[in-house]
Amino acid sequence: MNVPDTTRSTLKKKLWQRADEIGWVTLSPTEKSLHYEIWTRSPEIGGRLVRFMRQDQIRVYIKDTLLKDYTRFHLAGHERPFRVLGVPESTCIVETYSKPHGCRLHDGRVICWGRASDWKSILMALHERTFGKSRNIPHAAVLLYALGKFREVQVRAQVEDVAKKLGVSKVVWLE
């Protein structure tokens, strides 16, 4: 499927704007599936793509090509984690990470962040990125979009207990 660059760019921009409007990163998989279906059938998105691919390929193209990097892009920035942790914006970052997002600061503190639903990966990444490296400290996990069950005291206590056992100094919950 050869979608022209200008068409792909225009549709990606349009979809990212709509994703911003509906709070894409906080939607459940079921809600996202509904939007994929709507966009696949819409004349302005699916109707434009049907010129370049079969109808049954459009949903996958929207998901895997046009929206693939949306969530990663919106979670990547360190500004919000720094702000809630009281880390000055001017602090020197010596290494950055992805999957999950994070960074190592000049003083050895390692910070990781991502969706609260990915807490196991975030805590394990903190552990892996600091284990056996005496200069690296598992400083903080910032858990974003802590909605639903992640608002419950019992769930947060469990996550924080695991973090404590792994030597993580701080766990911050953000909705």
Residue with tokens 């996990």: 141
- Give the global pTM: 0.76
Q: Report pLDDT for 69.
A: 87
Mean pLDDT within 144-171: 96
Residue 1 is predicted with a pLDDT of 62
Say if residue 134's pLDDT is above 80: yes
CB within 8 Å of 129: residues ≥ 6 apart: 97, 102, 104, 110, 112, 136, 138
Task: Convert the pLDDT of each residue in 62-91 to its tens digit.
Answer: 999 999 888 888 888 899 999 999 999 899
Length of the chain, in residues? 175
- Tell me the pLDDT tens digit for each residue of 101-113: 999 999 999 999 9
| Residue pLDDT, tens place only, 46-63 | 999 999 999 999 999 999
Look over the chain and give the mean of its residue pLDDT values, rounded to a whole number: 93
Q: How would residue 38 be classed by pLDDT, with cut points 50, 70 and 90?
A: very high
